[in-house]
Amino acid sequence: MTVGLVVVSHSARIAEGVVELAAQMAPSVTIAAAGGTDDGGIGTSFDRIQAALAEAESGDGVVVLCDLGSAVLTAETALELAEAPERIRIADAPIVEGAVAAAVAAESGDGLDAVVAAAEARQAEAAPPQAGDEPAGEAQRLELVLENEHGLHARPAAELVRTASGFDAAVTVEGVDAKSMLRVLALGLDRGSRVVFEATGPDARDALAAIEALARNRFGE
């Protein structure tokens, strides 16, 4: 099971589009759309949000992404009336970027708090976390050239984040947290870019070896 996601928008098409995009990064995560009114108009629907929450809940919790303030208010009402409101969190995050980042975190097996943090990109204001309780030791370094036609766009970036998240190591790419989808995308790395990865912690060497193998495979593309 994984943390589920609900995308709430005033437009059914926007909600469905965000779900389609995020699902490309997280095929095993349940992501439900709750867009538009009950009659297909522009607005939000309590009933649609309530149904989406039930669809996305697997027992590990649900993170909700909203487009505008009134969508948040409707989502909060649905949350208050939910059977287990403590397992539902409304992220203070942009709906597209937040949904993609949250989906990648959920796909990696992160818990509810970590998925919310990924959506809100709280880690962007802090240094990358150290792995475990052991001394970090000397940083391991990997330098490579991106061969992907479009560089580290959303899908290969998601593969990188998933790979880095699978190791007990603090991993950076060009100095930013390689386990943060939003920070990786913000680098805007294009084809031909020379990229430096560094890792510290018990699995540092293994993490960089996995990333090197991933790059040889063009990040799954």
Active-site residue list:
10
Closest CA to 7 of 81, 76, 59, 75: 75
Q: Rounded distance, CA 63 to CA 87, Å?
A: 9
According to the 3-state scheme, what is the secondary structure of 36-47? CCCCCCCCCCHH
Q: Where are the alpha helices (DSSP H) in 26-139?
A: 46-56, 69-80, 95-107, 112-120
* Residue 80: how many other CB atoms lie within 10 Å: 9
For the chain, the distance separating the N- and C-terminal CA atoms, rounded to the nearest angstrom, is: 26
